[in-house]
Amino acid sequence: MKNINENDRYFYTSAKSCPFECSYCFATLPNFSDDLGSLQELHTEESIISGPRVIYPSCDSEIFLSNDLVRTLDRITKVEKQVVVSYSTKKRLSNKDLNMITEINEILNESSGFIKVGISITNINSIALYEKGCAGFEDRIENLLRLAESSIPTGVNIKPILPFISLDEYLRIVEHTIKYCDRFMLGDLYIDESTSFGKSVLSEYPGFITTKSIDWLNKDLKVKVYSEGEKKHKIQKSILSKGGKFFESDLSLINDIIKYGN
Ligand code: SF4
């Protein structure tokens, strides 16, 4: 399978909203969701033949892993097109979810594609505070274990690296997850300035704030970003010292799976 480039990506959302309440969610940023596509757009003949090669069912997407997606992928892979689905979640995966992930993987495997499941872990001890409704840490580890047992490609998304979480807690995340997954995606915190969480990050960490464009949206959306280089660097070092790999983007992690296998 050939490497995938940025223009081959497709982000879609659905009418259903995410059931979780992460304090740092940037899906609520003004203009953000307006720019995401819909699953229906992938059904056109043109899209099936020359459309995207990596499909993102939005964040956090267990409600978007639907039978509709299965049918769409079935049609896309019939023309022997290699497609990757990149799905990320903070939920506890049920047997039904795992069955659907396995079914999607089998469909995609027919034309050398695959589904990659990103298990998002931003902290261990403050989930009830920052990620209301999401699975606990142990359940996310269990997700990684069960996905590994089913030979589904995975990644651990340490994204966003949060300001209120200690380096020690991040090092423990690496230590606990690397037994089941050696690919990590690290990412900065995009700030929604209208929320109390966003306001507190801006006021308490002024030295770590920059402004960036979100390049994968059609619109030129600029956001404030919290990025603490030294903390990130120490997490990267820990991953490397334990034999893992880290990536700055989901696409580079996917291309690594394409190059070296699961
Ligand atoms: S899971 Fe994703 S979309 Fe849902 S609230 Fe959290 S950050 Fe937002």
Encoding tokens for residue 52?
């995207």
Q: What angle do CA 123, 92, 237 make, to 5 degrees?
A: 35
* Ligand 1 atom, smallest distance to 120 CA: 1
Average pLDDT over residues 245-253: 95
- 124 pLDDT band, cuts 50/70/90, is very high
Which residues neighbour 224 within 8 Å (Cβ) at sequence distance 6 or greater? 190, 191, 193, 198, 202, 209, 210, 211
Which residues neighbour 235 within 8 Å (Cβ) at sequence distance 6 or greater? 158, 161, 167, 170, 171, 174, 186, 246
CA 21 to ligand 1 center in whole angstroms = 6
CA 90 to ligand 1 center in whole angstroms = 8
- The whole-chain average pLDDT of the chain stands at 89
Encoding tokens for residue 254?
């996917």
Identify the structural domains of the chain with CATH numbers, from first to last: 6-260 (3.80.30.30)
Q: Is the pLDDT of residue 252 over 60?
A: yes
User: Is the pTM higher than 0.85?
Assistant: yes
What amino acid occupies position 213?
Answer: S
Cβ-count burial 169-187 (b if 16+ within 10 Å, e if not)? ebbbbbebbbebbbbbbbb
Q: List, for residues 169-203, the tens digit of each pLDDT value.
A: 999 999 999 999 999 999 999 998 989 999 999 99
Average pLDDT over residues 121-139: 96
Element (H, E) at 201: helix 196-204
| Nearest protein Cα to ligand 1, atom 6 | 22
CA 219 to ligand 1 center in whole angstroms = 21
| Nearest protein Cα to ligand 1, atom 7 | 25
Element (H, E) at 11: strand 9-11
Q: List, for residues 79-115, the tens digit of each pLDDT value.
A: 777 899 999 999 999 999 999 899 999 999 988 899 9
